[in-house]
Amino acid sequence: MSGVLDPSKSTVYVSNLPFSLTNNDLYRIFSKFGKVVKLTIMKDKDTRKSKGVAFILFLEKDSAQNCTRAINNKQLFGRVIKASIAIDNGRAAEFIRRRNYFDKSKCYECGVSIPKT
């Protein structure tokens, strides 16, 4: 199916990237494989510096597979890049599990009381 977003099969996990690359740099590199919908560079939470890992979400899963085949184990900026289709769409396990909110009298996001109907 063309143009149908399927994040579970169209997100590419790329590692061993140079730490100096920006979102714009990666967009230019990966957009030649297909339409890039979202690009996320993983950063250290304290220093905010790149970890050399990125997730690239393509519009089509064929673009993601072509990208993976073309980039995996290739040299880019003096480093051997690893690429694969991301498992669980690049989300950490703590964000995948269903959370239970026991106090249903308030909105769990903003804390505003919810009127009873």
Domain membership of residue 66 (yes or no) is yes
Is 108 within the bounds of a domain?
no
Give the range of the structural domain holding residue 80, as residue numbers without chain letter.
11-96
Report the distance separating Cα 52 and Cα 92, nearest Å.
17
**57 is a domain residue:** yes
In a domain, 83, yes or no: yes
Counting the structural domains of the chain, the total is 1
Any domain includes 48: yes
Residue 67 inside a domain? The answer is: yes
Give the CB-side neighbour count of residue 67, counting CA atoms within 13 A. 31
In a domain, 117, yes or no: no
**What percent of the chain stands above pLDDT 70?**
72
Residues whose CB falls within 8 Å of the CB of residue 3, separated by 6 or more in sequence, listed in order: 59, 60
Q: What is the CATH number of the domain that holds 77?
A: 3.30.70.330
- Tens of pLDDT along 43-53? 888 888 889 99
The band of 111, judged by pLDDT with boundaries at 50, 70 and 90, is low
Q: Do the strands 36-43 and 50-58 form a parallel or antiparallel pair, or are they unpaired?
A: antiparallel
